[in-house]
Amino acid sequence: MSAIRRKFGDDYQVVTTSSSSSGLQPQGPGQGPQQQLVPKKKRQRFVDKNGRCNVQHGNLGSETSRYLSDLFTTLVDLKWRWNLFIFILTYTVAWLFMASMWWVIAYTRGDLNKAHVGNYTPCVANVYNFPSAFLFFIETEATIGYGYRYITDKCPEGIILFLFQSILGSIVDAFLIGCMFIKMSQPKKRAETLMFSEHAVISMRDGKLTLMFRVGNLRNSHMVSAQIRCKLLKG
């Protein structure tokens, strides 16, 4: 038995069969029950070895609205590829929207056609088209300030848009950067360096039958105030 287990591993079990019980040819002298290897049925684990629970919720009404009501936690729980996609998409859409607003102001005031006139004061100096309006927004939002493009005091709508841009940029930065920071600070991968014993045993401890297993930490750093929760399933 031990030789068979070493050869085929624990994924197979030995089943003893008797040909006489199935109505086949009778056994000859010296012939006993036959043994054959049958693959074990793999049962799904309630909890993986890395601590992830395999329970999924189902048949919940308005499940999508529940996730959207707590949008910040939903973004934190998303996978990294979706977080990066939302991060890049949000900034791109916000930049293009604000650049379009600056271009619309320049277009409605006629600054695009009068920008090269010597005695004319535009809303934003040196903005001739959409790329220049986009560069002005990036320079302002990122506080680069090359000094070539700047807003003038002859444009009240530009001042209002500038205030709106500052408030919107602060909100977007606080939301997305906070989401990324919390996601990076989560110790989800910390469980990769925690080892659990392959088998659990039941033994007498302090005069009582106790379920025991071992937990090992591969890192040199100590875990302070660690808590362990166990789930026992009885079939």
For 82-102, what is each residue's pLDDT tens digit?
989 999 999 999 999 999 999
| Range of lowest pLDDT (67-81, 128-142, 153-167) | 67-81
What pLDDT shows up at residue 43? 67
What pLDDT shows up at residue 30? 54
Q: What is the pTM of this model?
A: 0.57
Residue type, 137: F
9 pLDDT more than 70: no
Report helix, strand or coil for 44.
Answer: coil
What pLDDT shows up at residue 200? 87
Contact 120, 190 (CB under 8 A): no
String of b and e for 121-139 (b: at least 16 CB within 10 Å)? Answer: ebbbeebeebebbbbbbeb
